[in-house]
Structure 1
Amino acid sequence: MSLTERLRESSEDVWRAILEHPFVVSLYRGDLPLEKFKGYLLQDYNYLVGFARALALAAARAPDVASMKAMLELAHGELTGEMANYESLLRELGLTLEDAIRTRPNPTNVAYMSYLSSVCSLGSFAQCLSALLPCFWTYEAIAERHAGLLASNPVPLYKRWASVYLSSEYKALVRRLRELLESLSPRLEEVAGPFRTASVYELMFWEAAHSGESWPA
Structure 2
Amino acid sequence: MADSAAPTSRPTTRFSDTLRAENAETWEAAATHRFVTELFAGTLPDENMATYLVQDYRFADGFMALLGAAVATADNYDSRHRFAQFLGEVAGDEDTYFRQAAAELGADTSVPDTRATEGFKQLFADAADTRNYAAILGVLLVCEWLYLDWATRPENRDHGTAENGYPTRHVHAEWVRLHDYPGFHQLIDFLRAEIDRAGARSEEDAALARKYFRRTVDLELQFFGEHR
Relative to the length of structure 2, the TM-score reads 0.81
Please tell me whether residue 203 in structure 1 is matched to residue 211 in structure 2. Answer: no
Deviates more, 1:129-138 or 1:118-127: 118-127
AA aligned opposite 1:160: E
- Distance in 1 of aligned mates of 2:158 and 2:227: 23
Cα distance in 2 for residues equivalent to 1:19 and 1:69: 29
Q: Which structure: larger Rg?
A: 2
More helix by share: 1
- Runs ≥4 residues deviating over 4 A: none
Matched, 1:124 2:129: no
Identical positions, percent: 23
How many angstroms apart in 2 are the aligned matches of 1:152 and 1:169? Answer: 18
**AA matched with 2:194:** L
Change (3 A) 1:179 1:88: same
Q: Which residue identity does 1:127 align to in structure 2? A: A
Contact kept? 1:127, 1:190, Cα under 8 Å? yes
Equivalence map 1:73-152=2 (5 Å): 73-95=85-107, 100=109, 102-145=110-153, 146-150=156-160, 151=165
- Structure 2 counterpart SS, 1:66: helix
Aligned-pair distance for 1:157? 2.5
Q: What does residue range 1-217 of structure 1 map to in structure 2 within 5 Å?
A: 1-95=13-107, 100=109, 102-145=110-153, 146-150=156-160, 151=165, 153-184=167-198, 185-186=200-201, 187=203, 188-210=206-228
CA distance in 2, matches of 1:19, 1:113: 21
AA matched with 2:157: A
| Contact map agreement 1:53 1:75 (CA 8 A) in 2 | no
Distance 2:84 2:174 in 1: 27
Letter in 1 for 2:226: A
1 CA distance for matches of 2:111 and 2:81?
Answer: 31
| Distance (Å, rounded) in 1 between the aligned partners of 2:44 and 2:28 | 20
- CA shift, 1:90, in A, is 2.2
Using a 3 Å threshold, how does the CA distance of structure 1 residues 190 and 42 change in structure 2: closer, same or farther? closer
CA distance 1:61–1:121, change in 2 (3 Å): farther
RMSD: 2.0
Residue 78 (structure 1) shift: 1.3
Separation (CA, whole Å) in 1 of partners of 2:166 and 2:194 = 35
Structure 2 segments unaligned to the other structure (5+ residues): 1-12
Deviation at 1:152, TM superposition (A): 6.8
Secondary structure class of the residue paired with 2:215: helix
Structure 1 window deviating more from structure 2 (54-63 vs 182-191): it is 182-191
What is the distance in 1 between the residues matched to 2:170 and 2:22? 36
The unaligned stretches of length 5 or more in structure 1 are 211-217
Shift in Å at residue 83 of structure 1? 0.5
Shift of residue 127, structure 1, vs aligned partner: 1.3
CA distance in 2, matches of 1:129, 1:26: 30
Q: Structure 2 vs 1, CA of residues 69 and 206 (structure 1 numbering), >3 Å: closer, same or farther?
A: same
